Chains A and B, each alone.
Chain A
Amino acid sequence: MNASMTETQRPKLVTALLLLPAGLFFVFLLLVPLVVVLVFSFGERAPAGGYLPAFTLQNYMDLPARGKAFFNTLTLAPLGTLLTALFAFPMAYFLAVKTSPRWRVALLILVMAPFWTSQLLRYYSWMIILGNKGLPSLLALVGLTDVRIINTPVAVLIGAVYGYLPLMVPPIYVSLEKLDKRLLEASADLGATPARTFLQVTLPLALPGVATGSMLVFILLMGDYILPQFLGGGKVFFIGNALVDLFLQSRNWPFGAAVSVALVIIMFVTIYFYMRFVLSKTDTRRAALV
């Protein structure tokens, strides 16, 4: 330590040193690259593909050419999030309220574990299950012939619920765990029907958890590539697929950059309004992201 350093300078220096590595990462791997993407989005495609410096708004005017991909993503991502929340809620409720504390954590881990195992292989497995020799052949046995699931929006939604349920259950579980059972009893004692108790006591308490989980799932679904690629088979196209195509097939970097910018803006705007809505509903500042 430098002897001439005063008592007030030293803590500041330590703080600066603590924040420096992350700061460097944020600047050089987040901000600069995002600015480069923004710059590229005003450029032109080089003759053999890639980027040619220019200033044009053409790439943004061309965005409607990916209208269907935006539409698919902006309908199926929220719908998938909603379905995941609907399926996750009873599960979280079961774990938090109905199981004995002894098994609770183990059962919760069992729900989470699949998310941390190879996503690619799990969706591949679903390709087989939803394919002709899988579920449809079982349905044919009960007389439902010629049902096609794979490569349809339904397959993508099944995959979304499957893939993201393990992420949705834990936050809901955490908020329900705080639920004081005496509240439920009190509500019942006061003559409330179970439905009313659920709507007026349980649900409001669970809302922050639902909000956190939904946000996580929504972020991941909006940028998903593997899920629509495997279970949509090139027929249910997301923005993620359009981006992979633009960068790794047709090599139109400027247009790809414009699509990325549009995606990020849509995400930020959606999340902003979503947060405002959630905060106004739960009037708590606790609906943190993670």
Chain B
Amino acid sequence: MTKHPDHISAEKFVEELRRYQKGSVSRRHFLAVTGLGLATAVLSSAVPGLRPRKAYAGLTGTLNVTTWPNYFSQENYDNFTKRTGVPINVNVFGSNEEMLAKLQAGSTGWDVLVPTNYTISTYKKLDLIEPLDLKLFPSYDPSQQDPRFLGPGTIDGVVYAVPKDWGTTGFIVNTKSTKENPVTWKDFFAATQGPLSGKVTVHDYQLTTIGSAAVSLGYDFNTVDKAQLAEVEKLLIATKPHLFGITSDYQPAMRNGDAIMAMCWTNDASQLNRDIPEMSYRLGKDGGEIWVDHYAVIKGAPNRDAAYAFLDYILTPEINAKEIESHGTPSTDARVIKLLPDSITKNPILYPAQESLSKLEFGAAETLTNPDRAELMARFKSA
């Protein structure tokens, strides 16, 4: 917690106390600045009875949170509202591109955003998110985060986003319906054009669909090379007649048997596998994506105070653990992992063997804005 003031002068303390008494600063600001917040936080985590008595006084209005489908615990959000009186309005999106498009199209009334690793630098460049004031959400502890996932949120030493949870992009196979045993992305596309024709879905998302197709051809997941992309396009267009659909919502198709294999994210995989054990999730042995989603605060957020209160609330280990349990996505926070049951921490879909992750890549910022990839995806869809 190095970002907190370690000490505060007596004068400063009194001055802050006065400001707090006059009501010109919120209680949270007061506690944070004086370091009393830290003291309370330490105390409260040590003394269970004190725990939920965090101060969220003085908050008003609603909080607009923009996230992905099935990616939050309604119970947690309801409790936030109970505690603060601030109702949360959740907007869900299908892809990062869509989220960015909506922001560029003037949807600047949001407060909290859940961007994926590779998009954060672009949001910063476009001046759409603000540098986070870590003092305002003391429940976040960078020293407890898996260092693998701390890179993307910090730009030039400034923290713009903090990790929410992480995961992978592989594919899921309903082993009850097929004897095929694809283990690489190369197998995935071969099976699609062969025995599983008409029974496969890919994401409606440039990063994973183009990226995985590139991997199957032996290219980099993040390639923006025109010649390589041309080959990717050829592969995708040749595959298209064999697809059941292009969709990021493949759970219904997998559940009712329309699809036997689908490009798939960790959380969908754990949810499908929980209900249908024959659903087997694989990470491409030839590569694929590893991702980490973040919380960020929109620049000029209409309810900035509530946004920070929300971050402080949701990143509290006990609450964050409930979050992880509800949607089945691996956590980046060591304190949270300690609180999770074995059914989650020992689940190979959520926490795969280290060596299977070694070939996976994070999405690259360039793919988000690269016009060739965007146009390739659009042409593939309209082909």
Asked if the two chains touch in their complex, CB atoms less than 8 Å apart, one says: yes
Q: Mark B190-209, 1 if CB is under 8 A from A, else 0.
A: 00000000100000101000
7 CB < 8 A contacts A-B:
A48-B126, A48-B369, A66-B382, A69-B382, A151-B245, A237-B383, A248-B102
CB–CB B381/A237 < 8 A: yes
Q: B104 contacts which chain A residues (CB < 8 A)?
A: 48-50, 251
A283 in contact (CB, < 8 A): no
Q: A242 contacts which chain B residues (CB < 8 A)?
A: 378, 381-382
Contact (A48, B125) CB under 8 Å given A235-B245, A250-B377: yes
CB–CB A249/B377 < 8 A: yes
A246 in contact (CB, < 8 A): yes
Q: A131 contacts which chain B residues (CB < 8 A)?
A: 252-253, 256, 258
CB closest chain-B residue, reference A250: B374
CB–CB A245/B125 < 8 A: no
B positions within 8 Å CB-CB of A: 95, 97-98, 100-102, 104-105, 122, 125-126, 198, 204, 206, 240, 243-247, 252-253, 256-258, 369, 371, 374-375, 377-379, 381-383
CB–CB A235/B100 < 8 A: no
Q: Give the shortest distance, in Å, between B122 (CB) and chain A (any CB).
A: 6
> Which of A47, A133, A252 is in CB contact (< 8 Å) with B375?
A252
A187 in contact (CB, < 8 A): no
Q: Give the A-B contact count at a CB cut-off of 8 A.
A: 90
Q: Give the shortest distance, in Å, between B238 (CB) and chain A (any CB).
A: 14
CB–CB B374/A249 < 8 A: yes
A53 in contact (CB, < 8 A): no
CB–CB A65/B379 < 8 A: yes
Contact (A248, B382) CB under 8 Å given A45-B371, A151-B244: no
CB–CB B257/A133 < 8 A: yes
Most buried by A among B95, B98, B381: B381
Q: Give the shortest distance, in Å, between A248 (CB) and chain B (any CB).
A: 5
Q: Give the shortest distance, in Å, between A152 (CB) and chain B (any CB).
A: 10
> Which of B198, B206, B371 is in CB contact (< 8 Å) with A252?
B371
Q: Mark A226-241, 1 if CB is under 8 A from B, else 0.
A: 0000000111010001
A282 in contact (CB, < 8 A): no
A148 in contact (CB, < 8 A): yes
Contact (A235, B257) CB under 8 Å given A248-B98, A249-B98: no
Complex alpha-carbon distance, A242 and B380, angstroms: 11
Q: Give the shortest distance, in Å, between B176 (CB) and chain A (any CB).
A: 14
For window 202-248 of A, CB contacts with B under 8 Å fall at: 233-235, 237, 241-242, 245-248
Q: B122 contacts which chain A residues (CB < 8 A)?
A: 48
CB closest chain-B residue, reference A45: B371
> Which of A65, A233, A247 is in CB contact (< 8 Å) with B246?
A233
Complex alpha-carbon distance, A131 and B98, angstroms: 27
Complex alpha-carbon distance, A132 and B245, angstroms: 13
CB–CB A247/B369 < 8 A: no
A122 in contact (CB, < 8 A): no
Q: B375 contacts which chain A residues (CB < 8 A)?
A: 65, 250, 252
Complex alpha-carbon distance, A148 and B259, angstroms: 11
CB–CB B100/A251 < 8 A: yes
CB–CB B246/A49 < 8 A: no
CB–CB B378/A234 < 8 A: no
CB–CB A252/B374 < 8 A: yes
Complex alpha-carbon distance, A116 and B97, angstroms: 32
CB closest chain-A residue, reference B257: A132
CB closest chain-A residue, reference B368: A48
Complex alpha-carbon distance, A266 and B204, angstroms: 28
9 residue pairs, one from A and one from B, having the closest CB atoms: A250-B374, A234-B246, A233-B245, A132-B258, A69-B382, A132-B257, A237-B382, A133-B256, A48-B369
A150 in contact (CB, < 8 A): yes
Contact (A251, B101) CB under 8 Å given A69-B382, A150-B258: yes
Most buried by B among A45, A132, A148, A234: A234
CB–CB B256/A68 < 8 A: no
Complex alpha-carbon distance, A150 and B244, angstroms: 9
Q: Give the shortest distance, in Å, between B337 (CB) and chain A (any CB).
A: 35
Q: A252 contacts which chain B residues (CB < 8 A)?
A: 371, 374-375, 378
Complex alpha-carbon distance, A132 and B256, angstroms: 6
Q: Mark A148-165, 1 if CB is under 8 A from B, else 0.
A: 101100000000000000
CB closest chain-B residue, reference A239: B382
Q: Give the shortest distance, in Å, between B158 (CB) and chain A (any CB).
A: 20
Q: Mark A50-88, 1 if CB is under 8 A from B, else 0.
A: 100000000000000110110000000000000000000
Q: A47 contacts which chain B residues (CB < 8 A)?
A: 369
> Which of A50, A151, A234 is in CB contact (< 8 Å) with B381?
A234
Q: Give the shortest distance, in Å, between A155 (CB) and chain B (any CB).
A: 11
Complex alpha-carbon distance, A7 and B115, angstroms: 66
Complex alpha-carbon distance, A249 and B100, angstroms: 8
Q: Mark A162-173, 1 if CB is under 8 A from B, else 0.
A: 000000000000
Knowing that A132-B258, A151-B244 are A-B contacts, what are 4 other residue pairs whose CB atoms are under 8 Å apart, sorted by A's residue number?
Answer: A65-B375, A245-B381, A249-B206, A251-B100
Q: Mark A20-55, 1 if CB is under 8 A from B, else 0.
A: 000000000000000000000000010111100000
CB–CB B244/A233 < 8 A: yes
CB closest chain-B residue, reference A242: B382
Q: B245 contacts which chain A residues (CB < 8 A)?
A: 151, 233-235
CB closest chain-B residue, reference A251: B101
CB–CB B105/A68 < 8 A: no
Q: A65 contacts which chain B residues (CB < 8 A)?
A: 375, 379, 382
